[in-house]
Amino acid sequence: MKSIAPSQLGCIIRCLGLSAGADLANCKLMTFPVGIYKAMRSVTEGIHCISLANNELKSLTGRFITTFSQLRELNLAGNYLHRLPEEVTSLLHLRAINLSRNRFRRFPEPLAAVAALETIDLEENEITEVPVEKLASMASLQSLNLRANPVGPEARLLVRPLVPFDLLLSPEEPIPEA
């Protein structure tokens, strides 16, 4: 596990507009550093945006989710994730999540229970199954990116006006002739 020196903490925490955020992108992290939990204990309620993009994360813990319960944006692109913890449903303020370039084979169903979620990016995963009914009932969802996934034909049925969000898919490949 790669650790982050206390002297680097000031470089990690930065202001993102009016919201505080933590940028731990490109740190070759295999897990979220325990020291960061301790160092940020007094400010976690004010953290609204976290980027853990382009690391080597294979999983995300429930502790991470419950510690940063006020998240509005979470960038986990470019890791080795294949599932999300059920605690994701407790992120009442989460508006955007980037899970592109990971290892998901199925749509992470806990996301369907996050009422405030507006944008889900799952581009370049291995998703074949999508919970069509659950997605159609997500009132706040504005954009779902499933480009570069081998999604089944049922996902292509999710078109306006049946769903109130933009669905981004790769073009269908033509069926080869025999």
Q: Model-level pTM?
A: 0.83
Q: Which CATH superfamily is domain 6-168 in?
A: Ribonuclease Inhibitor (3.80.10.10)
| pLDDT score at 9 | 45
For 68-98, how does the pLDDT look when each residue is reduced to its tens digit (9 = 90+)? 999 999 999 999 999 999 999 999 999 999 9
Say how far apart CA 162 and CA 48 lie, in whole Å: 32
Domain boundaries, the chain: 6-168
For 8-28, how does the pLDDT look when each residue is reduced to its tens digit (9 = 90+)? 344 344 333 334 778 888 888
Say how far apart CA 59 and CA 3 lie, in whole Å: 17
For 129-157, how does the pLDDT look when each residue is reduced to its tens digit (9 = 90+)? 888 888 888 999 999 999 999 987 777 66
pLDDT at residue 29 is higher than 50: yes
Strand partners, 19: 16
